[in-house]
Amino acid sequence: MAPARRLGLLLAARLLLAALSLAAVCSGTPAASGGNATDTWAVIVSSSRYWLNYRHAANALAVYQAVRRLGLPDSRILLMLADQPACSPRNPLPGQLFLAPGAAHAGGGASSAQRQEVAGNLLPADAEVDYRGSEVSVESILRVLTGRHPPGTPPSKRLLSGPNSNVLLYLTGHGGDEFLKLHDQEELLASDVASALAQMHASGRCGQLLLVADTCQASTLYGRIEAPHVLGVASSKLGQSSYAHHIDTTIGQHVVDQFTFYLHHFLTTRVPPPASSGSAAGGARGVGLSVPSLQQLLDFIRSQRMSSEVQVRADLFPHRLSDVPVNTFFGQGAAPAVPATPAAPAAQRRGSDADGTNAAQALLQRAAARRAAAAAPVTPSPWQSQLEQSGRSLFEAVEAAGAGSSPQGSRKPAASPAAVAGAWAAALAVSWWLLQGA
């Protein structure tokens, strides 16, 4: 058999296999809600251990509770707790965490109305902690963000976001100038965060990202970021500590930080839950309210009595904060369209460190080199070139759709029956033409 005809038969066989895969996907996967469906993900990290850091775990669980109330399912939340104070033998309320454990006895500035709002247990029986204890590390955080996991990592431990996803990254713990401390043993650096977000953008793992940091000197964590469509919100500025809100006499510890206390208060009292939400916490509160904007959230927090200054970095973000609903990142809500990323001049880049940009460029160069090597032709004949030119676009479309079913929570839409029928017809037509040829 001639090499050209053998190549043609191979292409026809691959088209048939792709059509079969597409049919399997279409028959086994329900149709997606549409290309504009909301796709929001949350990565919530508490980096501190030990009973004395009760408030950091409570911070993370307060945000976890708030985003669940606003419609974000556990399948799109990655909760990372370096310690579980709820399980500590010192906890007088075993298996439970509260922002105001003593409710009526909570002091230090919590009003009676605010205590009533935060009196509920933050750790319900159905809470899903994806990373706990020693699993929470600099390595695991960067692997979650960049998607570079060891073989066998389950989907529940992966951030399955895509190029149109809105991602919330919440960090709390002990921090300093350009670092977040984990377990009192290692540090997540601002350059690590910048590099990871640059790689996320380059590999299409997020459309827009909101970084919220509640640590001392929190604003230094986003100072080196150069990736586009990133909004940074911090509880404190360079040289400034982030303070606890109140101490609870039942626990004997500070139980929540000021910034997160007011963030949680706003999200649970001023933002309505989705109409389909069955959350008990959201059923009675927020009824009849319109969805506020991120600017309104920041204005509310800044209006409270805080010992630190809330910082915002919006030069990389493509929208006005007054136009972005809070549930774009904190729940199940519609988001403004992500504009195309312009090529920013080097003179406009912030800071002198280019680790994130270099990492992204290296990633793109490696991908381009692999594509070039795979697509390099070996002196094709005119017949072969014509065949490849006519069948390439159809083959790539069918193979991409039929590559396999998506894990739970991914955004790949299911193919329509018309696409399956078209793929079958094209594959059979090419096969018949090849078999009839000389």
Question: Contact 336/326 with Cβ under 8 angstroms?
Answer: no
Residues 6+ apart with CB under 8 A from 364: 202
Got the DSSP string for 104-155?
GG--TT--HHHHHHT-S-SS-TT---SEEGGG-SHHHHHHHHHT-PPTT--G
Task: For residue 92, give the DSSP letter.
Answer: S
SS (H, E, C) 20-38: HHHHHHHHHCCCCCCCCCC
State phi, psi for 379 to the nearest 5 degrees: 35, 70
Q: Are strands 208-214 and 230-234 parallel, antiparallel or unpaired?
A: parallel
Q: Which residues contact 244 (CB under 8 A, 6 or more apart)?
A: 55, 108, 254, 255, 256, 257, 258
Reading the block at residue 211, the tokens are 């970084």
Measured in degrees and rounded to the nearest 5, phi and psi for residue 344 equal -80, 135
Give yes or no for a contact between 338 and 177, defined as CB atoms under 8 angstroms apart.
Answer: no
Sheet strands (E) in 278-323: 311-313
Q: Which of 96, 98, 78, 247 is nearest to 171 (CA)?
A: 78
Closest of 129, 62, 128, 73 to residue 97, by C-alpha: 62
DSSP state of 284: S
Each residue of 278-296: b (16+ CB within 10 Å) or e?
ebebbeebbeeeebbbbbb
The identity of residue 268, as a single letter, is T
Q: Which residues are catalytic?
A: 174, 216
Is residue 329 within 8 A of residue 356, CB to CB? The reply is no
**CB of 425 closer than 8 Å to CB of 6:** no
Residue type at 133 in one-letter notation = G
